[in-house]
Amino acid sequence: MTRSHARRSLASLLAALALSVSACVATPLPDPPSARPSAMALSAPQPAQLLLVGTDGAIVGGASRLRVTDPSTADLGGRVEAAVSAPGAFSATLAGALADVLYLEAVEPAGDVFLAAVTLQAGVVASVDPGLDRDADGSPDAIDCAPDDPLLLARECPTGAACATDLDCAAGQVCVAGVCRASSCVPEICGNGLDDDCNGVIDDGC
């Protein structure tokens, strides 16, 4: 093969390679869910009751359920879930006061995603600093059921008294993952698709 012929072959090979590379188009990853407070309105239709409404585009990224939590009233009706429409609208009624900070989370099968902390400022819903996140799991301490455990992320906090052993729990309960639960709860069994330890998470720690 002559040197000229070799150069032409190399040029043809490089041109073909460039064409194949240019034909490759990366598929973009879906955007994570996010919140747009400017598309929300907050009111108090009754004393100690809040109504947070989001118009189209308030929640973006495909989230179908939204959890709204008022940490100061969370155990008294201040934590609710609401359906999110395809365009991103929702309506949530919960216990609380207009001056409170509300925390918004997208409820996801693999673990809830913190979206924003919002409050009413000069009559407009605005984002505010969500506060500390000691374990850096993306869930602010104000709504994190385990603020020092990065594995629990922003998932729904399990209910029940804190415990170290079964002896700390009432009759008919056992201590699972530091919380008293019904005796039907057992340590998590990996791979069976069930929430064996009753903490609201399937196959956690597996």
- CA distances from residue 23 to 9, 16, 19, 62, 111 in whole angstroms, order as listed: 21, 11, 6, 29, 36
Full-model pTM:
0.66
| Mean pLDDT computed over 72-101 | 93
Tens of pLDDT, residue by residue over 48-75, are: 999 999 999 999 988 899 999 999 998 7
Domains in the chain, CATH or no CATH each = 34-152 (2.60.40), 158-206 (no CATH)
- Non-local (6+) Cβ contacts of 43 within 8 A are 50, 51, 53, 98
Tens of pLDDT, residue by residue over 155-198, are: 555 666 778 888 888 887 777 767 777 766 666 777 776 666 66
